[in-house]
Amino acid sequence: NSSSMKEFILLSLSENQGVQKIYFVVFLLFYTLTVAGNLIVLTVTSSRHLNSPMYFFLRHLSFVDICYSSVTAPQMISGFLVENNTISFAGCIGQLFGVHFFGCTEIFILTAMAYDRCMAICRPLHYPALMSRRLCGHMVGVSWAGGFLHSTLQTLPIALLPFCGPNRVAHYFCDVHPLLHLACADTRAEGLAAVANSGVISLSCFLILVTSYGVILVSLRGQMLSGWHKALSTCGSHITVVILFFGPTTFVYIRPASDLSKDRSVAMFYTLITPMLNPLIYTLQNGEVKAAMRKLCRR
């Protein structure tokens, strides 16, 4: 049956029609909040007063978050209203590429932000020279390029696999593990490569993050309470996002695929909930952003 090849059917989060309608409303609200919140952050951080590296990274993070949730959410939300949530083969591969491209870019940008916070707190006098415009531009450029390379390496092997049998993807978006389950070939090598690829990236970035926070804590040793307070309020929001994003992604990608139903509920976190919370987490913690938002509202 070659027709099953042309499209896949994505599973919904629930089989129950009534529950699906509730999900439709809830997730549509989540997605609207994600896009609106991140657009506000984009607008606010583009103002001339907020020109420090932190806001430069924040702008890119908000843009990535909008793209990232847009790769999965609209397809999932519209799926709540139809009997079979189908996606074309090309659409499926495109979605797989998008999820890994924006997800990986987000990981790299969060890592760059940790380095930026580390420099701001540990080397405050040299900070403007250390974090020059050029360096920040390079860091963001490398983040996007790294995301592109990672997702190409994740997507290509899967796009080349033969799919001839069942076409129900055990997930609400096309991802590596659920697609490997459907291929009509031995996919152990691809499975290992995927885990290694995602694992190396998640773990190495996580280690860089932990190290930069370690350095920050060590540099604060002799400081007064006010110094501690300032440093932790700067980093608090970042640590929150890192935990919310890295915890679930590491859980899904670093272990071999066994229980896909668990992956589905965990994936909700990093595809929709973290992108929605990012603007809140960063703006609630940040006086300058709040002031800029008040200005924007007055206008």
Residue 282 lies in a domain: yes
Overall number of domains in the chain: 1
Examine the pLDDT at 29 and tell me if it is beyond 70.
yes
With bands split at pLDDT 50, 70 and 90, how would you rate the model's confidence at 3?
very low
What percentage of the chain has pLDDT greater than the value 70?
A: 94
Chain-wide mean pLDDT for the chain?
85
Torsion, CA 284, CA 109, CA 175, CA 204, rounded to 10 = -120
Q: What is the value of pTM for the model shown?
A: 0.88
Residue 254 lies in a domain: yes
Q: Which domain holds residue 22?
A: 7-298
Per-residue confidence (pLDDT) for residue 2, from 0 to 100: 40
Residue 191 lies in a domain: yes
Looking at per-residue pLDDT, the higher value among 60 and 213 belongs to 60
Q: Could you tell me if 69 and 32 are in contact, meaning their C-beta atoms sit under 8 angstroms apart? A: no
Examine the pLDDT at 41 and tell me if it is beyond 70.
yes
Per-residue confidence (pLDDT) for residue 284, from 0 to 100: 66
- Residue among 224, 101, 107, 115 nearest 155 (CA): 101
Examine the pLDDT at 19 and tell me if it is beyond 80.
yes
Residue 288, C-beta contacts closer than 8 angstroms, at least 6 positions apart: 49, 50
SS (H, E, C) the chain: CCHHHHEEEECCCCCCHHHHHHHHHHHHHHHHHHHHHHHHHHHHHCCCCCCCHHHHHHHHHHHHHHHHHHHHHHHHHHHCCCCCEEEEHHHHHHHHHHHHHHHHHHHHHHHHHHHHHHHHHHCCCCHHHHCCHHHHHHHHHHHHHHHHHHHHHHHHHHHCCCCCCCCEECCCCCCHHHHHHHCCCCCHHHHHHHHHHHHHHHHHHHHHHHHHHHHHHHHCCCCCHHHHHHHHHHHHHHHHHHHHHHHHHHHHHCCCCCCHHHHHHHHHHHHHHHHHHHHHHHHHCCHHHHHHHHHHHHC
Q: What is the CATH number of the domain that holds 27?
A: 1.20.1070.10
Residue 2 lies in a domain: no
Per-residue confidence (pLDDT) for residue 256, from 0 to 100: 65
Q: What is the mean pLDDT of residues 86-91?
A: 92
Express each pLDDT in 5-16 by its tens digit: 678 988 877 778
Q: What is the mean pLDDT of residues 16-43?
A: 90
Per-residue confidence (pLDDT) for residue 141, from 0 to 100: 97
Residue 131 lies in a domain: yes
With bands split at pLDDT 50, 70 and 90, how would you rate the model's confidence at 83?
confident
Residue 81 lies in a domain: yes
Residue 1 lies in a domain: no
What percentage of the chain has pLDDT greater than the value 90?
A: 29
Q: Could you tell me if 216 and 117 are in contact, meaning their C-beta atoms sit under 8 angstroms apart? A: yes
Per-residue confidence (pLDDT) for residue 200, from 0 to 100: 83
Q: Choose the weakest-confidence range: 132-141, 224-233, 273-282.
A: 224-233
Q: What is the mean pLDDT of residues 57-84?
A: 91
Residue 40 lies in a domain: yes
Q: What is the mean pLDDT of residues 60-79?
A: 93
